[in-house]
Chains A and B, each alone.
Chain A
Amino acid sequence: MCKADIISTVEFNYSGELLATGDKGGRVVIFQREQESKNRPHSRGEYNVYSTFQSHEPEFDYLKSLEIEEKINKIRWLPQQNAAHSLLSTNDKTIKLWKISQRDKRAEGYNLKDEDGRLRDPFRITSLRVPVLLPMDRMVEASPRRIFANAHTYHINSISVNSDHETYLSADDLRVNLWHLEITDRSFNIVDIKPANMEELTEVITAAECHPHQCNVFVYSSSKGTIRLCDMRAAALCDRQSKFFEEPEDPSSRSFFSEIISSISDVKFSHSGRYMMTRDYLSVKVWDLNMENRPVETYQVHEYLRSKLCSLYENDCIFDKFECCWNGADSAIMTGSYNNFFRMFDRNTRRDVTLEASRENSKPRAILKARKVSTGGKRKKDEISVDSLDFNKKILHTAWHPKENVIAVAATNNLYIFQDKIN
């Protein structure tokens, strides 16, 4: 397996028609959902490759003698404003705005030039004709329209488009910057947690997101398991948060790994804007924005790993950054785990399911079977014991269609798209 093919981000666009993936090799692959055809009414639209382009190239920082990886850390779609689609893609240091446009018609019958493009002799033109549009093979082009560079000293972990559709934020380990989509040579620094003395550094920013409706509000999470909500109207530099979300630690479960597993790897607002969800190593928490002292819901993703933390620390798996996502109605949440398992939680019924994204188990149109990890001594049939889990098969990136029950799951270098069963 080629390392460059490892998928590093997955994102649906606003309509769900397009699905973008970024990989470690700096490429972006966009899938488009086929229109449901009348001929096959029972077949939902399938996602097929729409466009592939190289977004970022590896670079070399000569001053530090270090390579800058071309791996795409995040992709975020911009709201569609015309026939073309736009997205932001970022690696560790540079954010790029790509415009993806398609052409499926061409004009024929020009007056001033003939079919192969050569200019016609003006004396030969005796009559006027109206060019006609003829269909052609669809051609999709991606072009970089903006390059937002040189604003981040540390590794960019998040980008988020603001609800005003004019600005977006980008966050690295120690800073959050606010950009205008049209302006590439300037950005505003709105959060800076770099200590004056780097030796005092004990906490970093792990994720950031703009509020879906209030364009002045954003949140950022930290490696200490805290989330800060900031209001950009309050001050130019949002060092003082408006709200501070932290769950008090349970003293009975304190260990040397407590801080590491409390580090938040992803934060996502609900579509409604009333809640936000955070993912730490072992659980997913849903927070009410009006309650700062504890989450309203906590879901255990793989609690059976708690007794394995030392091994997971040794093989570095404890530092894996899992993402999480909401469904369109905010009634369900999804996140990944190991052994190509991913978990979905229904917030209303409190039911949860573990599914597996693997070739053997996923024939087209087959229904996924629920999986179970056995935690006790007795292992039932079809259950998997904790020790046989493959920790190299991790599902870090998942995405949920904004309107329908279609999910995209990235398992290392494979992308799985699952849809709701149709009766």
Chain B
Amino acid sequence: MRYSYQRRTCAIARAKMFPKGTKRKFSDSREEPVAGGEDVNQSSLAAVRMLSSYSLQRQSLLDMSLIKLQLCHMLVEPNLCRSVLIANTVRQIQEEMTQDGTWQIMTQALSAANAAAQCSADRLVATEVLCRQTEAAQGEQVPKPFPVVGSEGCPAEEVLEEEEEAAAAEVGMTMSTVSPQAPTSYLPGTFGMDPCWEEEETGEDDDDDDEEEEEDSEECGSGSEGEERERDSLVEDTRTAEQVFGTFEIKNPAPSPDPALEELFSDVDASYYDLDTVLTGMQSVPKMGPYDLLESLSSHGPSPLSSSTSCRSDLNELDHIMEIIVGS
């Protein structure tokens, strides 16, 4: 059932990105080995489907929100109110998903996908690599990797995300474009884009269309998501990377440096402007996509790791300098 959920999620998200008519297949969902020895209770199939529908809507909303937070070649400062509201929505979804255990499954799938996939060029527009670091270790048990995910030849999706950050905006830092060699990660929704998925999918399930239409309606209460609870209850991921607002920098090609400005910032560590240096200074972990970033949205409390703290304190310092310059 876990696999079925993932397939549906990715397929729905994929259907949103591609024109209709792309076929999706669900018929082999029952044949896949189910982890943990869970059995699908045939009598509760209907209930499970309803829960899946809610989960799908929620997932779709999450995907949509993350895409909205993505910035590409922004000319004008984005609307802070809109960004805050979207980020709050994402946080809310993530909290709920963490509570019912869906979150862990998704992030596990991501790690498995990262491990299996090759890193190569992007398909979607690459914007920024996250200026952050994460703890690689996950203390909890690792579930079986999903069979479908583990194929080779799937183009890696380098979907990166940034969030306009007012503090960073104040600082006025611009980051250089990420180099293609940067490790990549997947959006779960992008699984469907992989040719390996396309090969397998032939039939189309009518249920999908119903669920897509349902997405427009208000989400119903989640109720007890017994399906997800049946899975291994994973310990919540304790990654403590920086949260959305502290993490992202505004991406813009830096204008040719003004000598006066250069002088002004001469004592600022220029490595800030070199994304690679920043990344190297951190633990080398596979870069993660927006979903991993979401981890940080839930953790308001935990203190960030030391280098990210220094990152932030320098940001505050630059912030302070900027305020003096601006005279506010």
Q: Inside 8 A of A307's CB, which chain B residues have their CB?
A: 216-218
Q: Looking at B81, B87, B244, B328, which has the most chain A CB atoms within 10 Å of its CB?
A: B81
CA distance A333 to B176 in the complex (A): 51
Q: Is B278 an interface residue (CB 8 A)?
A: no
A255-B254 contact in complex given A198-B167, A203-B84, C-beta closer than 8 Å: no
Tell me whether B124 is interfacial, beta carbon within 8 Å: no
Contact with A along B301-328 (1 / 0, CB 8 A): 0000000000010000000001101111
A312 vs chain B, min Cβ distance (A): 10
Number of A-B contacts (CB under 8 A): 124
For window 155-179 of B, CB contacts with A under 8 Å fall at: 165-167, 169-170, 172, 174
Nearest chain A CB to B300 CB, angstrom units: 7
With A199-B245, A256-B61 as known contacts, state yes or no: A263 contacts B328, CB within 8 Å.
no
Among A67, A69, A199, A316, contact of B244 (Cβ-Cβ < 8 Å): A199
Query: Which residues on A sit within 8 Å (CB–CB) of B172?
Result: 63-65
B326 and A150 contact, CB distance less than 8 A: yes
Contacting pair B242 A154 (CB below 8 A)? no
For residue B64, which residues in chain A have a CB less than 8 angstroms away from its CB? 313-314
In angstroms, how far is the closest chain B Cβ from the Cβ of A396? 14
**A395 beta carbon closer than 8 Å to chain B:** no
Complex interface residues of chain A between 199 and 254 (CB less than 8 A to chain B): 199-204, 206, 223, 254
What mask results when residues 59 to 99 of chain A are scored 1 for a CB within 8 Å of chain B, else 0?
A: 00011111111000000000000000000000010000000
The reply to whether B325 and A198 form a contact with Cβ atoms under 8 Å apart is no
On whether the beta carbons of B216 and A256 are closer than 8 Å, the reply is no
Residues of chain A contacted by B221 (CB below 8 angstroms): 254
Are A204 and B250 in contact, CB atoms less than 8 angstroms apart?
no
Residues of B within 8 A of A201 (CB): 84, 166, 245
Q: Is B77 an interface residue (CB 8 A)?
A: yes
Chain A residues in 8 Å Cβ range of B87: 202
Residues of B contacting A65 in the complex (Cβ-Cβ under 8 angstroms): 172, 174, 250, 252-255
Mask: chain A, 289-324; 1 = CB below 8 Å from B; 0 = not: 000000000000000001111110110100100000
Q: Which residues of A contact B323 (CB under 8 A)?
A: 153
Residues of B within 8 A of A255 (CB): 218-219
B27 at interface by CB-CB < 8 Å: no
Contacts of B216 in A (CB 8 A): 307-308, 310-311
Does A263 lie within 8 Å of B85, measured CB to CB? yes
Taking CB atoms, residues of chain A closer than 8 Å to B217 are 307, 310
Q: Does A259 contact B (CB under 8 A)?
A: yes
A308: nearest chain-B partner, CB-CB = B216
Give CA–CA (A39, B316) in the complex, Å: 69
Contact A66 B252 (CB under 8 A): yes
A155 interface residue per 8 A CB criterion: yes
Number of A residues near B (Cβ < 8 Å) is 44
Residues of B within 8 A of A308 (CB): 216
Nearest CB of A to B292, in Å: 16
Q: How far is the CA of A64 from the CA of B92 in the complex (A)?
A: 31
A306: chain B residues within 8 A (beta carbon):
218
Q: Does B4 contact A (CB under 8 A)?
A: no
B211 CB–A CB distance under 8 Å: no
A237 to chain B: closest CB distance in Å?
15
The answer to whether the Cβ of B238 comes within 8 Å of any Cβ in the partner chain is no
CB neighbours (8 Å) of A151 from chain B are 328
Contact with A along B252-265 (1 / 0, CB 8 A): 11110010010000
A263 / chain B contacts, CB cutoff of 8 Å: 81, 85
Measured CB to CB, the nearest residue on chain B to A223 is B81
In the complex, how many angstroms separate the beta carbon of B55 from the nearest chain A beta carbon?
13
Assembly CA distance A276 to B87 (angstroms):
29
B93 within 8 Å of A by Cβ? yes
- Asked if A260 meets B85 with Cβ closer than 8 Å, knowing A64-B172, A66-B76, A200-B300, the reply is yes
Q: Which residues of B contact A266 (CB under 8 A)?
A: none
| A154 contact set on B, CB distance < 8 A | 80, 166
B276 within 8 A of A: no
Taking each of A63, A67, A173, A308, which has the highest tally of chain B beta carbons within 10 Å of its own beta carbon? A63
- B138 part of interface (Cβ distance < 8 Å): no
Residue numbers in A under 8 Å from B77 (CB-CB): 64, 66, 68, 92, 155
Scan residues 137-151 of chain A and give those whose CB is less than 8 A from a CB of chain B.
150-151
Cα of A315 to Cα of B64 in the assembled complex, Å = 10
Is A126 located at the chain interface by the 8 A CB criterion? no
Check A348 for interface membership: any CB of B closer than 8 A. Answer: no
Asked if A388 lies at the interface with its beta carbon under 8 angstroms from chain B, I say no
Given contacts A63-B325, A64-B77, A310-B61, contact A319 B245 (CB under 8 A): no
Query: Given the complex of chains A and B, what is the CA–CA distance between A120 and B328 in angstroms?
Result: 53
**Which residues 131-164 of B have a CB within 8 angstroms of A?**
none
The residue in B85, B165, B244, B325 that gathers the most chain A C-beta atoms within 10 A of its C-beta is B85
Contacts of A173 in B (CB 8 A): 80-81, 166
Determine how close the nearest CB of chain B comes to the CB of A202; give it in whole angstroms: 6
Kindly state the separation between the CA atoms of A319 and B68 in the bound complex, as whole angstroms: 12
The contact of B58 among A198, A223, A256, by CB within 8 Å, is A256
A397 to chain B minimum Cβ distance, whole angstroms, is 17
B243 contacts chain A at the CB level, 8 A cutoff: yes
Q: How far is the CA of A259 from the CA of B300 in the complex (A)?
A: 19
Q: B133 to chain A: closest CB distance in Å?
A: 15
Interface residue? B79 (CB, 8 A): yes
Q: Which residues of A contact B58 (CB under 8 A)?
A: 256
Subset of 16 A-B contacts with CB under 8 Å: A62-B261, A63-B172, A64-B169, A66-B74, A152-B328, A173-B80, A198-B166, A199-B245, A201-B84, A201-B166, A201-B245, A203-B84, A204-B84, A223-B81, A257-B89, A308-B216
For the complex with contacts A256-B89, A319-B81, 19 further pairs of A-B residues with Cβ separation under 8 Å are: A63-B261, A63-B322, A65-B255, A67-B76, A68-B76, A151-B328, A154-B80, A197-B246, A198-B166, A202-B84, A203-B84, A223-B84, A223-B85, A254-B221, A307-B216, A308-B216, A310-B216, A310-B217, A311-B216
Interface residues of A (CB under 8 A from B): 62-69, 92, 150-155, 173-174, 197-204, 206, 223, 254-257, 259-260, 263, 306-311, 313-314, 316, 319
Nearest 8 interchain pairs by C-beta? A199-B246, A198-B167, A199-B243, A63-B172, A65-B252, A173-B80, A199-B245, A64-B172
